Structure 1
Amino acid sequence: MANTVSAKKMTRKIAKRTAINRSRRSRMRTFVRKVEEAIAAGDQAVAADALRVAEPELMKAAQNGIVHKNNASRKVSRLAARVKALAA
């Protein structure tokens, strides 16, 4: 348990930051899930639209430190490849 004033303030800041990060991570996962559901349904047009919306969300998450930049890029790349494969 925090005893000093500064330690108590840090626990408040950490709790606030954790809540924000949890919200951002959840939002990112929701957009990725929408793309994956469209891919599973086999609807290429809907999947492409969902990917177009999900990509900036993933990059924002990377920019805010929710996921690593390479992790976000890899997710976008793999989703894009799966969407492209639906067209074939």
Structure 2
Amino acid sequence: GNDQLIIWGDIVHVPAVQFENPGAGIGFDIDPELARKTRAKIFDEAATDRIRIAGMHLAFPAIGHLARRGKGYEFVPQQWETDVA
């Protein structure tokens, strides 16, 4: 959980679509099936263990966790603080 962080590159390109529908691909995926499987595995692991995630294409603060919502997920951003703890 809180002591882990997954930093991903391009497993998510359009968060508004792919969190709700992890099976949705994009033309930039070189291997669409592998991209879908990778996304499903990482999303499941991150949501199950409440592992923090960070990465490309996420809105500021671009760090948070995933919560399951129906057949998809919701990105829950971490509260932004200006002080370093």
TM class, shorter-chain normalised?
Answer: 0.3 to 0.5
Q: Relative contact order (alpha carbons < 8 A, sep ≥ 6): 1 or 2 greater?
A: 2
Tell me the TM-score normalized by structure 2.
0.34
Structure richer in helix, relative to its length: 1
Tell me the TM-score normalized by structure 1.
0.33
Which structure's CA Rg is the greater one?
1
